[in-house]
Structures are given as C-alpha cells and as structure tokens.
Amino acid sequence: MIGTWRTGIHFFDDLKSLFNLPQPAPEVDVHSIVIQQVRGSSELTTTVFTMQAIVPTRQDIEVGNFIVGTTKLLYIAYGEVRAGVDLSALAAEDVTVSSDTLRVRIPPPRILDSKIDVNRSKVYDYNRGFLNLGPDVAPKLQTLAEREALQKIVAAACADGVLEKANNRARLVVTQLLKQGGNKVTVETQPPLPDVCK
C-alpha cells in the first residue's frame, strides 16, 4: 500500500512537471494594433483648398430663328475642396515590421469632399435684358452656375497640387501618430489614382 501511495505521488509530481514546462513568450500582433490605431482616424483631411469663382450664365429666347430676349446671370461662388486619405482602407499587408522599424503604406490621396458655400456665394447680377423680354430662369441659371463653379474650383485645386500636398501632410500626421508608441516609423505614400482629378 505504501508502494502504491509513493507511485501515486510520483505520478502527480510528473503530471505537475508537465504543466510547469517553460512556455513560449507572449506575442503582440503589431499589425492589428497599428491598423486599429490608424483606422481610428478614418478619413484624414490633410489639405483644404478654397477659391472664389465668377461664373457668367445666359439663356436666350427665340422666335423663329431670331433671338428676342436674353437673360444673364452673374454668380460669385465660394468653394472648398477637402483632400486627404481614407485610412479605413488600410489593410494588414500595408503594415510590416522589420527589426526595429515599423513600415506603413497609406492609401492614395483623394478628394474627400467638394462643395459650394451657399451662405457666402451670391448672384451678383441678374438681367432679363431690354423690356425684360428674357426668360425668367433665375433658379435654373443659378444651379448651372453652381455646378460650373464647382468644376472650376476642383480643377483649380488639382492644378494647384492639392493631392500631392495631402499626401505629404498625411505622411507627417501618420508618422507622428505612430511615433507616440516609441517605434522607428517609416510611412510610405502612394501616388494619386489617375482618374481622381478628371
């Protein structure tokens, strides 16, 4: 009986030693942490371009082949274009860790929003011509002017390099965000997609 008891004790000691074997060191999934940290910023606006555009519009009224009246509208538009990167598009393959450096490739810059500030914009002149014979089409001409002004403002923002500026600023912002963890950080940018400014 004592022999059986001693055998049982050795059995439990052997069993305990199995559970006390050295375990592998815990690991941290840096990719997930970085992606969550960066995605938390979501759409990152890094550049705002503002501009005033003056847009003349007109509409004629004809009888037969003769123009009997012309309505002209002159619109002064204030517009804004916001450019930046959509950090929610960051994927796991965009984050790599080599030795002590964290590399992150951010998505390409894009225009996040473009709009006319209707509170600052105004109709500067509305003229229906001689004897007011021109058609009364103020809302139609104003809508046309706003659409044309917005296209001009976006084109001017692109010509001014708004996407390149957004890319450079995004690199700086994401670098500062990730350096808070004390890592060496390299942030790579991508060129704008070809159809963004068309």
- The tens digit of pLDDT for each residue in 19-35 reads 555 555 544 444 454 45
Per-residue pLDDT at 23: 54
The segments of the chain whose pLDDT lies below 50 read 1-8, 11-12, 15, 18, 26-31, 33-34
Which residues are within 8 A (CB) of 81 and not within 5 positions of it... i.e. 6 or more apart?
A: 48, 49, 50, 111, 113, 114, 153, 154, 157, 162
Determine the 3-state secondary structure of 183 from DSSP.
coil
Counted residue by residue, the chain has a size of 198
CA distance 51 to 114: 11
Which residues are within 8 A (CB) of 103 and not within 5 positions of it... i.e. 6 or more apart?
A: 95, 96, 97, 185, 186, 187, 188
Supply the Cα-derived Rg of the chain in whole angstroms: 32
Per-residue pLDDT at 4: 44
Per-residue pLDDT at 194: 84
Does the pTM surpass 0.85? The reply is: no
H helices of 40-137, in order, are: none
Per-residue pLDDT at 27: 46
Per-residue pLDDT at 147: 94
Specify whether the CB–CB gap between 156 and 150 falls below 8 A. no
